[in-house]
Amino acid sequence: MSEVPTRHRARRRIGLLGGSFNPAHDGHRHISLLALKALGLDEVWWLVSPQNPLKPVHGMAPLDRRLAGARTVARHPRIRVSDVERRLNTRFTVDTLTQLCRRHPDIAFVWIMGADNLSQIPRWKGWTRIFATVPVAVFDRGDIAFRALAGKAASRYRHARVTDPRQLAASRPPAWCFLFTAVHPASSTEIRQRR
């Protein structure tokens, strides 16, 4: 069988789940498995941040320990754990996404986040450029969902909301969707407090 020329191949669809993963837990895995299925993704990459600019340094486990913990939790051939922000020397999501898109024009990236982050994304550096760079998939986080959908980001991009999640990766930014799904109860903050 002859190989299909590159220009005729469908672009790989990769979901990007960023965070501190301090520690990684089954909630991260749960949302990744939902994203693989609901968005029709080929893989989900966990971008373990060296240091989230919006979170305190105090209480943050060393990056290598968080990476090792994430690999233990991921346990799936289509979930990859990455230290790409350390290798790219980026601190902010917008810069990481810009560089990834530049380095991998053959990949259709989708940013994955919880509804809690949709509420606070206007505090992120270059947040409107994030929406202009890649499609965004927002997953339900329980009680916060309706507040997030009434927030600044959802209001600003209401015209760009996609109703069919399987079309999101192929959509031209700005494009986003909200997925009302089963909510996993795990929380990194609660895990740290119990410890």
15: nearest Cα among 71, 79, 84, 101? 79
Task: Give, in order, the Cα–Cα distances in Å from 120 to each of 54, 114, 115, 159.
Answer: 10, 10, 9, 20
Which pLDDT score is estimated for 135? 98
CATH no., domain 10-194 = 3.40.50.620
Which pLDDT score is estimated for 58? 86
Mean pLDDT, consecutive 10-residue stretches, the chain (195 aa), reads 47 96 95 97 97 84 97 97 97 97 98 94 97 97 85 97 97 97 58 46
Q: Can you spell out the DSSP letters for 75-100?
A: -STTEEEE-HHHHHT--SHHHHHHHH
Token pair in block for residue 159: 């015209």
Residues 166, 185 contacting (CB under 8 angstroms): no
Which pLDDT score is estimated for 52? 82
Task: Give, in order, the Cα–Cα distances in Å from 135 to each of 34, 42, 45, 108.
Answer: 17, 15, 15, 9
Domain range annotation of the chain: 10-194
Residue 143 CB-half CA count within 13 A: 1
- The rounded distance, in Å, linking the Cα atoms of 134 and 60 is 28
